[in-house]
Amino acid sequence: MPLLTVKNLRTQFSTERGTVRAVDGVSFTLEEGEVMGLVGESGSGKSITALSIMRLIKEPPGKIMADELTFDGVDLLSLSPAQLRDYRTRHIAMIFQDPMRSLNPVLTIGRQITETLRRHLRLSGGDARRRAIELLELVGIPRAEKRLDEYPHQFSGGMRQRVMIAIALSCNPRLLIADEATTALDVTIQAQIIDLVRRLRADLGTAVIWISHDLGLVAGLCDRVSVMYAGRIVESGPVRDVFYRPAHGYTLGLMNCTPRVDDIGHRLKPIDGMPPNLAEPMPLCPFLPRCEKAVEACSVKRPLLETVANGHMAACHADLSDHWRKDKVA
Amino acid sequence: MATQDASSPAATPATYESGTRMALRQLLRNRAAAIGLFGVLLIVLLAIFAPWIIPYDPTAIALSSKLQPPSFAHWLGTDHFGRDVLARMAYGARVSLTVGLSTVAFAALFGVPIGLLAGYVGGQLDNVLMRLMDAFLTFPPLLLGVAIVGLLGADLTTVTLALGIVQIPVLARVVRSSTLVVREETYITATRALGAGAWRLVSQHILRNILSPLVVQITIVFSAAIVAEASLSFLGLGVQPPTPSWGRDLSEARRFMVDAPWLFMAPTGFIIVSVMAINFMGDSLRDALDPRSWVRRAAPTKETADAPADR
C-alpha cells in the first residue's frame, strides 16, 4: 500500500468571478521513503495541492474534493478537527517557502519547537527542551542550547529554514512536504538544506514531496517528478525520463527556458503568453494557446494522462521524440 | 507575559525571564517611558499609601483654616471647608485609578474576545459583531455615560459600566484589525501545519502578536477613562460626596478661581500629569513588547552579526 494516495483531487475556490479550479483532478501515489518533485510555474496549483493534503485550505471559500485522499490507509478528508491536528506534523509535516515569515516573531525559537513537542509527544518541559537542542544540532545549528532562547529575527534566513525543518521533523513524520523550501535562500545554503533533506531521508526514511520551480534542484534530489500546469499534472515519471525525454509541450518549454551549465552558448527560450484563467472552463489542453508543438488533435479534444513508457505518463497529443536527448537515452 | 507563564506552567523559566527582563530594560532605556513610568508609579504609590503619607483626613472639615494658600503644613493649601487639598488629591487618585483600571478591565473583557472572534473567524460573524460595535460607537461617549448614570444612579460601579461600555468597540476594533493582519501571516499557517488548534492559535500566537497595539490602546482607554470620570464628576454625576474626586473638586474650585487659584490648579495638574504619564508609558510599551525592537546589550555573536537586517 502506498504511503500517500491522491486520486482525482479537486480544490476549488468560490470567488465573485466564479469558481476557480486551482487544483483540477490531480492523482499520484507516494511510496514510503520516496522523494517526489512537483514542478510548474507560479499559480499552477503546486502549493494548493500541498495545502490540500495538509487540509490547510480554508473552507469556505475553498473546497477540497477527491475520489481518494488517504495517508497510510486513513482517509484525510474525513478526519475530525482533533484528529487532523494530531495528524499534522505528527505524520505529515510541511515547511514553507519564506523562512523569514514562517516563524512567529514574538516567540523564542525554543518555545516554538517545544510547543510542538509537548503537544504531539506529550514531553515534559525539560525533556522537550533537551529534544529541541538535539533537533537543532541535527539540522546543524551551532550552540543550540544558547540559541533556543533567541528570537527569529536573530537568525539568518538559512538558519531559520533549518529551524523550520527541525520543527517539521520534531515528531519524526513519515511525510515531509517542502513548499519551495529553498527558493528564498542563496545557493550555498540551498545546497546545505538539500544535503540535510537527503540525509534525513536516508537516516529516517521520510518520504518527501519537494515543490519547486527549480528543475535542476528537482533533478538532483528526487526519484520521481510531476509537472503541473493549470491545476493538473501534465506529465509525471522518473526524473531521468521526464527531463531527458519530455513528452509534454509544457515540460519541453520548461526545459528550454532553464539555463544549463553543460550547454553554454545555447539561447534560453521563454514560454510566451500567460497561464490560463482557472475560473474559465477548459475543454481543450490548457497549454494549447502557448504550445509550439500543437498538432491537429489538440484543437479537437483534450489529451488525457497516458502512459508513454514504463512509469512515465503525459497528457499530450504531440510527438516530441525529436527533442529527446539522444546522448542520455539508452 | 504573565498570561503565557500561567498557561504553560512547565515552560522553561529562563526563556521567559530573559524576555521579560529584556522588555523592562528596553522600557527604561527610553527617556519618555522612564518619565511616564515614574509619573504613574508616583500617583499609584500616592493613592495606595495616602493614609500613611498624609496626616490629614480628606473629608475632615476645619472651617478655621479654610482657603489657605500652599504652605509647609498644607502643601497644596486648603479648600473652602478647610480640607487639605493634597489629601483630597491623593484620595481622589484612588477613585481615578480604580475607575480607570476597572473600565479598562471591563472593556477588555468584552472587547478583546469580540475583536479576536470577529478577526479570526471572519465572514458573517465578523459582519454582525462589527456592526454591533459600530452601533455602540454612534453614541456620544459622555452623553451615554450621563444617560447610564442618570438611569442607574451615580456610584463607582455605574460610572465604570458607563465608561467601559463605550470603550468596548474601541478595543474590539483595534484587536480585530490587528488580528486580520496577523491571521494571514505565514507563521500562522505554519503553526496550523504543526497541528495547533484554533484556541491555541488565537490565545498563544495571535494574541501575543497583537499585544503591542493592544497595550497601547489599553493605555489610551485608561487615560480616557480618567478624563471621562473627571468630566462626569465635574457634572456631579460621578462618585458622590464626601468621597474626594478630581473632577468634583475641580468643579467646586470654579467658585474660588480668583481668590484661591491653587484649588483648581491641583486637580487640573493631577489630571494632566496622570494622563500624560500613562500615554508616555503606553507609547514606549509598544516598543518594549516587540522583541524585534530590543537592542541587544551584549556584543553581537558571529551568527547574529551575519544575520541580515531584514524583518
| Chain A, nearest residue to B301 by Cα | A154
Say which of A102, A108, A153 has its CB closest to residue B292.
A153
Burial of B298 (0-12, 13-18, 19+ CB in 10 A): exposed
Residue type (1 letter), B18: S
What pLDDT digit, counting tens, does each position of B220-251 carry? Answer: 999 999 998 888 888 888 777 778 888 888 88
Find the CB nearest A149 among B14, B190, B290.
Answer: B14
- Three cell numbers at A237? 515519471
Q: What is the mean pLDDT of residues B70-87?
A: 78
For B209, nearest residue in chain A (alpha carbons): A106
Q: Are B11 and A125 in contact (CB under 8 A)?
A: yes
Min Cα–Cα distance to chain A from B177, Å:
18
**Is 50 exceeded by the pLDDT of residue A42?**
yes
Distance separating the N- and C-terminal Cα atoms of chain A: 31
CA distance A89 to chain B (A): 5
Mean pLDDT of B285-304: 59
- Calculate what percentage of chain B has a pLDDT beyond 70: 87
All three cell numbers of B31: 527617556
Whether residue B287 contacts residue B293, with contact meaning beta carbons closer than 8 Å, is answered with yes
Residue in chain A nearest B23 by alpha carbon: A106
Written as one letter, the residue type at A78 is S
For residues A247 and A315, what is the distance between their CA atoms, to the nearest angstrom? 8
Residues of chain A with Cβ-Cβ distance to B192 below 8 Å are 56, 88
C-alpha neighbours within 13 Å on the C-beta side of residue A137: 10
**Among candidates A97, A116, A149 on the partner chain, residue whose Cβ is nearest the Cβ of B194:** A116
Helices (H) and strands (E) in chain A, counts: 10, 13
Give the model confidence (pLDDT) of A158-192 as tens digits. 888 888 888 888 888 889 998 888 877 778 878 88
Contact A105/B14, CB-based, under 8 Å? no
**pLDDT at position B304:** 44
Interface contact B196-A85, CB threshold 8 A:
yes
Closest CA to A178 of A135, A213, A143, A230: A213
Q: Which domains does chain A have, with CATH numbers?
A: 4-101+174-328 (3.40.50.300)
In three-state secondary structure terms, A282 is: coil
Q: What is the structure's pLDDT at A46?
A: 87
- The answer to whether B127 touches B133, Cβ cutoff 8 Å, is no
Q: Is B184 part of the contact surface with chain A (CB cutoff 8 Å)?
A: no
> B291 and A94: CB-CB below 8 Å?
no
Fold of B41-53+71-294: MetI-like fold (1.10.3720)
Q: Which of B187, B196, B308 sits opposite A103 (nearest CB)?
A: B187
Record: contact A54-B292, CB cut-off 8 A: no
B308/A115 CB distance under 8 A: no
pLDDT higher than 70, residue B98? yes
Find the residue in A nearest to B295 (Cα). Answer: A154
The predicted pLDDT at position B4 comes to 41
The predicted structure's pLDDT at residue B211 = 87
Against a cut of 0.80, is the pTM above it? no
Cβ contact B253:B263 at 8 Å: yes
CA distance B61 to B80: 9
What residues of B are in contact with residue A88 (Cβ under 8 Å)? 192-195
Domain boundaries of chain B, sorted by first residue: 41-53+71-294
Query: What is the pLDDT, as a whole number, of residue A330?
Result: 47
Q: Mean pLDDT of all residues in chain B?
A: 80
Listed in sequence order, the residues at least 6 apart from A16 whose beta carbon sits closer than 8 Å to its beta carbon are none
Residue of B nearest to A85 (CA): B195
pLDDT tens digits along A241-272? 888 888 888 888 888 777 776 766 667 778 87
Does residue B15 surpass a pLDDT of 70? Answer: no
For residue A329, pLDDT over 60 is answered with no
Write down the H helix ranges in chain A.
46-53, 81-87, 109-121, 125-138, 144-147, 157-169, 187-204, 215-221, 239-244, 249-256
ω into residue A60 within 30 of 0, thus cis?
yes
Model confidence at A326, in pLDDT bands (50, 70, 90)?
Answer: low
Chain A hits for B22, Cβ within 8 Å: none
**Residue A84 reports pLDDT greater than 70:** yes
Radius of gyration of chain B (CA): 23
Q: Tell me: pLDDT of B113 over 80.
A: yes
Q: Residue A149: which of B15, B192, B197 has the nearest Cβ?
A: B15
Chain A interface includes B308 (CB < 8 A): yes
Q: What is the pLDDT of residue B232?
A: 86
| Contact pairs from chain A to chain B, CB under 8 Å | 115
Chain A CB contacts of B291 below 8 Å: 105-106, 151, 153
Residue-wise pLDDT tens digits, A281-318 = 777 888 877 877 777 777 778 888 888 788 888 888 87
B3 interfaces chain A, CB cutoff of 8 Å = no
Query: Which is nearest to A152 in space by CA: A87, A103, A119, A118?
Result: A103
Separation CA A4–CA A74 (nearest Å): 9
Distance CA B254, CA B269 (A): 15
Report the alpha-carbon distance of residue B207 to residue B213 in Å, rounded: 11
Listed residue (A25, A31, A1, A28) closest to A12, CA to CA: A25
Say yes or no for a CB contact (<8 Å) between B12 and A114: yes
Q: What is the pLDDT of residues B131-174, one digit of tens each?
A: 999 888 888 877 888 888 888 877 788 888 888 888 899 999 99
Answer with the residue of higher pLDDT: B297 or A240.
A240
Alpha carbon of A206: minimum distance to chain B alpha carbons (Å): 17
Q: Which of A89, A90, A124, A153 to mutate to test the interface with B (most CBs of B within 10 A)?
A: A153
Mutation target for A interface from B17, B186, B194, B293: give the one with most A CBs within 10 A.
B194
Any A CB within 8 A of B11 CB = yes
Q: CB B196 to CB A56 under 8 A?
A: no
Task: Indicate if the pLDDT at residue B300 is higher than 50.
Answer: no
All three cell numbers of B42: 508616583
Q: Which three cell numbers stand for residue A106?
A: 514574538
For residue A80, which residues of chain B lie inside 8 Å, CB to CB?
none
CB nearest A104 (choices: B11, B15, B209): B209
Mutate to test the interface with A, among B3, B5, B7, B12 (most CBs of A within 10 A): B12
- ipTM of the prediction: 0.74
pLDDT above 60 (res B14): no
- Predicted pLDDT at A263: 67
Residue-wise pLDDT tens digits, A187-227: 887 888 888 888 878 888 889 999 988 888 888 888 899 99
Mean pLDDT is lowest, of A140-149, A300-309, B71-80, for B71-80
Nearest to A154 among B10, B189, B304 (CB): B304
With a cut of 50, say whether residue B306 has pLDDT above it.
Answer: no
Bridge partners, residue A9, by sequence = A26
Q: What is the pLDDT of residue B2?
A: 40
Lowest mean pLDDT of B71-80, B159-168, B275-284, name the range: B71-80
- The Cα-based distances of A270 to A45, A251, A286, A294, A319 in angstroms read 20, 12, 18, 17, 21
pLDDT band at B16 (very low <50, low <70, confident <90, very high): very low
Give the highest mean pLDDT range of A154-163, B105-114, B210-219: B105-114
Predicted local confidence at residue B173, as pLDDT: 92
Beta bridge partners of A313: A236, A307
pLDDT of residue B198 exceeding 60: yes
In this prediction, residue A57 carries a pLDDT of 86
The pLDDT value given to residue B108: 93
Give the lowest-confidence range in B66-80, B101-115, B158-172, B180-194.
B66-80
**Across the interface, do A156 and B205 touch by the CB < 8 Å criterion?**
no
B66 near A CB under 8 A: no
Mean pLDDT value of segment B28-32: 74
CB B307 to CB A126 under 8 A? Answer: no
- Phi-psi label, residue B67: left if phi above 0, alpha if psi -120 to 50, beta otherwise: left
* Sheet of strand A92-95: strand arrangement: A92-95, A175-179, A207-211, A35-39, A224-229, A232-238, A312-314, A306-309
